[in-house]
Amino acid sequence: MSYLVLARKWRPKDFADTVGQEHVLQALINALETGRLHHAYLFTGTRGVGKTSIARILAKALNCEKGVTAEPCGECSACVEIDEGRFVDLIEVDAASNTKVDDTRDLLDNVQYAPARGRYKVYLIDEVHMLSKSSFNALLKTLEEPPPHVKFLLATTDPQKLPVTVLSRCLQFNLKRMTPRLIADRLTYICEAESVEADAVALATIARAADGSMRDALSLLDQAIAFCGGKIEEPQVAKMLGTIDRDHVVRLLRLLAADDAGGIIDAIREIDEQFPDYSRLLEDVARDLQRIAVYQVVGTCDSDDDLNEQEYAELSEALPTDDVQLFYQIAIMGRRDLHLAPDPRSGAEMTLLRMLAFRPASAVDVPSASGGGAPGKAMPQQAVASAPRAVKAKSQEAAATTHQWADPDWSALVTELRLSGAVRLLASNCGYLRREKNTVHLGLDPRSESLLTKQRKDVLGEQLSAYFGEKLTVDIELGADAGETPVQEETRMADERIEAARQTLEADPNVQALKNMFGAELKTDSIELINPSQSD
C-alpha cells in the first residue's frame, strides 16, 4: 500500500478530533443537536486551519445513517464514502478551476433533484472567491432559496472578494490561525502515535515555521522525518528550515545591549557559515524584542518560544525600554527591505548596525565638544559612537547635583525626576505617605494596580536615590490613603479650568446676546482646554 502523507492521514474525521476552532465547532454542534440548520455556511480563514475538513465533517453529520447528529458514527456507508471522497451526494467543487458562469449553471442544473443516497445533497465549493461576477449572479437565487434537501458549504481564504449579496445569505464562521503551542502539542501527539522520536524544541521550531497552519506543520513534519532519518532533533530541523540557532539570536541581542558592533560583525560571520535565511534571522530578532518589551511592561512573558523567563529577565534589564522599541522597528523595516540590499547578509548586517547607529533623542542629546550643540541636530559619527559613554557621564554629572531630603510635594517631585513611560505613569498614580529610615512609602490607587511591577518600583527607587544623593528604596502600598495623586490633581485642576471657562462664557455679553436673540443654548460639554497643562 502506498504511503499516506501525515496531512491526509491525520485529517480530523469528527468534531472531537478537530484541533482548535472551538468557537466554530460549538456553534455547529448546537445547530445539529437542536435541528436549527441553515442552508448555507461560509468558512473563512488562512490556509490549513480546517475549513474544508470541518465542512466535510458537517456533511457527514448531515448524512450519517443513524440520523442528523453532532457525532457521526464514521462506520456507516455514508460516513465511509465521504471520508474516501466518493459520496455521490457530496459535490465538491474547486472554484479556482471552475470560474465560468457556464460551470456554475451546470452545477446548479441538478439542484432541484432529490439526493440519490443521502439525506441532503451537499455542495462544497472551495475557494469560492475565485468565481466570476456572472457566476455569483447565477448562484445568488439558489443560494437564497435552495430546495429543502440542499445545503451549501462555502470555503475561502479571501472573504473580502465575495459580494455582500453572497455574504448576507450565509452564516459566516471565521477560523482562527492556530497558535504555535497548539500546533506543537498536536505534533507531539502525532509523533507519539507514529512512534517517531522527536525533540520538543524541534517540534516548537516546526510549529513556528508553520505560521498558524496545521496542514503546513504536518507537511513540514513529514519533511523533517525524511530529513532527520526518523529521529527529529532541533539542529537538523533548523538546518532544514534555514533557521538560526536560538543561541545565535540571544548572542546578537546581548551584543546589541553591550553596544558591541565588532562582536555583531563576528557573529554574522559565524552565522553565515550555516547558509541561513536572513529574513528569518531578523524575524527571530524582532520576535524576541517583542517578548522583551512585554516582559518590561508586565514582568512576565507567556512565550511559545524556547527562550526561558530568566533569559528574558536578563535581556530586559540589559536593554532600555526605548531601545527595545527602536530595535524592533528597525528589525521589521530591515526585514521588509532585505530584498533591496546587495545581498541578504549585508542587508541583515546593516540592519543590526543601524540599531547601534541610532538612538532615541533622549539618549543622544549630549553637548558638543565646544559646549554648544542644539538638541535634535545631527551628531558627528564620533559623537554617535560615544553616545552611551556620554550619557553615562551626563548621568554621573546629574547625580552629583543632589537635593536635601524634605517631605516632598509629590506632584512637583514626579515632574522634577524626569521619569518616562510606565514608571512615570506608576509614580503619577501614587501619593506620598511617609519616610521610614531609607524607605519611602507611597500609596497606589487600586484602579492602577496593573502598573505595579517590581522592576518599575526599583527604577523609581533608583531615581529618588540619584535625586536626593542617598540610597533609597520604595515601598508601594495598594489602596493606602495618600491624599491626592498627581493624576487626580491634574484632573481636578483641568475640571476647575473648564468650570471657570464655562462661567466666563456664560457671563460673556456676546453669548448672552446670542441666547436672547436666537434662543440659543450653550453646550458646556463641548468646552475643551486647548492646552490643559497651562492655566488660563
| Cβ proximity of 441 and 475 under 8 Å | yes
> Could you tell me if 476 and 500 lie in one domain?
no
Question: What would you report as the CA-atom Rg of the chain, rounded to the nearest whole angstrom?
Answer: 32
Q: Are 28 and 51 in contact (CB under 8 A)?
A: no
Q: pLDDT (tens digit, 9 = 90+) per residue, 387-427?
A: 444 444 444 444 445 677 877 888 888 888 878 778 888 88
The pLDDT tens digits for 89-131 are: 999 888 877 767 777 888 788 888 888 888 999 999 998 998 8
Q: How many residues does the chain have?
A: 536
In terms of domains, do 477 and 496 share one?
A: no
Q: Which three cell numbers stand for residue 335?
A: 526585514
CATH code: domain of residue 90: 3.40.50.300
Are residues 21 and 108 located together in one domain of the fold? Answer: yes
Q: What domain range includes position 184?
A: 180-241
Mean pLDDT is lowest, of 321-325, 326-330, 523-527, for 523-527
Kindly report, residue by residue over 446-471, the tens digit of the pLDDT.
888 888 888 888 888 888 888 888 88
The CA-based angle 170-174-180, given to 5 degrees, is 160
If one counts the domains in the chain, the total is: 5
* Residue 446 belongs to some domain of the structure: yes
Give domain status of residue 252, yes or no. no
Asked if residue 120 lies in contact with residue 89, where contact means CB atoms within 8 angstroms, the answer is yes
Beta strand pairing status for 121-126 and 90-94? Answer: parallel
How many CB atoms sit inside 10 A of residue 220's CB? Answer: 25
476 located within any domain = yes
Residue 15, in any domain of the structure: yes
